[in-house]
Amino acid sequence: MAKIIDGKAVSAMIKESVAQQTKELVSSGIKPKLAVVIVGDDSASRVYVNNKKKACEVVGFESVEYALSKDTTQEELLKLIEKLNNDKSVNGILCQLPLPKQIDEEAIITAISPLKDVDAFHAENVGHIMIGNYTFLPCTPAGVMELLKSENIEIEGKNCVIIGRSNIVGKPMSMLLLQKNGTVTICHSKTKNLKEITKSADILVAAIGVAKFVTADMIKPGAVVIDVGMNRDENGKLCGDVDFDDVKQTASYITPVPGGVGPMTIAMLMQNTLMAAKKQNNIN
């Protein structure tokens, strides 16, 4: 029976550390500030944005929200981004994805200053991750690495398999595992013999957005299973990409949904924002 990796507990420890460092910054006259932009009325996006605002309160950041209508033009959004880039009181800018169809997401991500890109989606920050010389890491992959570290799970020399090749999770996740000397395979919708590959994994990361896709017959006995998915099952209940009840009998460690990777994503966003505030004020 797998040990459950508690993302709530690990994220609370990270937020506590961020809060402590924030107190020190505030005492020297610097209060970290995160600007969050949400366009339209997507209900999932609204939940995420509210959670981010709550986390800012917990760690002592100032947060400011720009809620724009779903009819906002790309030009209007770019003007707002430019204003926030030039506002010295704003340390981090986060534009909640997805954006409405009339707006090119890549153009918006590119417009955010790399120094304030606390999501680490800008091509410049992605390039730094590729060469291992980075300031910010994408929040979800960084959160996964912290969960592995919290259980002293060795990555070096292990077979690490990632299902999913998104720019937000799959690709940066592969780089972080590679930098820790894991042997990394990325699987996707065109991968042949998927089950054979996943069964070779010592560490399996599922990030495809398909409810309960990963089952026990895809898992090597004793594997570490990290579930990045956030889906609804047939009863409307939150679940991950991994069939938790089935897989926990075979794995050695497993993350639950909810309460696994999700809380870590927000904790790492707080860490990135703190780092941005320090860097912009020349504090190591």
The answer to whether residue 276 sits within a structural domain is no
What pLDDT is stored for residue 169 in this prediction? 97
Q: What band does 51 get if pLDDT is binned at 50, 70 and 90? A: very high
Active-site choice (15, 52, 212, 248): 52
- Distance, CA of 156 to chain centre: 22
Task: Calculate the average pLDDT of the chain.
Answer: 96
CB 149 within 8 A of CB 177: no
Verify that 93 and 144 share a domain, yes or no: no
* Cis bond upstream, residue 98 (ω within 30): yes
Residues 148 and 57 both lie in one domain: no
Residue 15 covered by a domain: no
Count of CB atoms situated within 10 Å of the CB of 72: 18
Whether 48 and 153 map to the same domain: the answer is no
Other residues' Cβ atoms within 10 Å of the Cβ of residue 100: 18
- The mean pLDDT value for 200-228 works out to 98
Q: Which of 97, 113, 129 is the last residue of a domain?
A: 113
248 catalytically annotated: no
Q: If you average pLDDT over residues 221-240, what whole number do you get?
A: 94
Instruction: Note if 74 is an active site residue.
Output: no
The domain tally of the chain equals 2
Cis peptide before 138 (omega within 30 of 0): no
Residue 227 lies in a domain: yes
Do residues 97 and 167 share a domain?
A: no
Mark whether 167 and 231 lie in a shared domain: yes
- Determine whether 52 is an active site residue: yes
Q: How much is the pLDDT for 82? A: 98
Q: Are 243 and 214 in contact (CB under 8 A)?
A: yes
C-alpha span between 238 and 18 (Å, rounded): 29
205 and 252 housed in the same domain: yes
Q: Is the pLDDT of residue 141 over 90?
A: yes
- Record the pTM: 0.96
Residue range 191-219: average pLDDT? 97
pLDDT tens track for 164-195: 999 999 999 999 999 999 999 999 999 999 99
CA gap 122, 48 in Å, rounded: 20
Say whether both 104 and 159 belong to one domain. Answer: no
Catalytic residue among 15, 33, 117, 119: 119
3-state SS assignment for residue 180:
coil
Q: Are 50 and 21 in contact (CB under 8 A)?
A: no
- Look at residue 23 in the predicted model and tell me its pLDDT: 97
Residue 3 lies in a domain: no
| 51, part of any domain | yes
127 within domain boundaries: no
Q: What H or E segment, with its residue span, contains residue 85?
A: helix 74-86
Within a domain: 256: yes
Q: What is the pLDDT of residues 34-50, one digit of tens each?
A: 999 999 988 888 989 99
- Whole-number pLDDT of residue 44: 84
pLDDT at 231: 93
pLDDT in tens, 65-116: 999 999 999 999 999 999 999 999 999 999 999 999 999 999 999 999 999 9
pLDDT (average), residues 268-279:
98
Q: Judge whether residue 236 has pLDDT over 90.
A: no
| Same-domain check for residues 159 and 210 | yes
> Residues 96, 160: one domain?
no
Task: Give the C-alpha separation, 128 to 110, whole Å.
Answer: 15
Q: Which residues partner with 117 through β-bridges?
A: 93
Q: Which among 96, 171, 212, 248 is annotated as catalytic?
A: 96
Contact assessment for residue 223 and residue 2, using Cβ atoms and an 8 Å cutoff: no
Alpha carbon distance 121, 169 (integer Å):
10
Amino acid letter for position 173: M
pLDDT-above-70 percentage for the chain: 100
**150 and 108 inside one domain:** no
Determine, yes or no, domain membership for 81.
yes
Residue 56, domain extent: 29-113
pLDDT at 3 over 90: yes
Q: What is the CATH number of the domain that holds 254?
A: 3.40.50.720
Element at 137 (helix H, strand E): none
Q: Is the pLDDT of residue 284 over 90?
A: no
> Same domain, yes or no, for 145 and 109?
no
pLDDT(271) > 90: yes
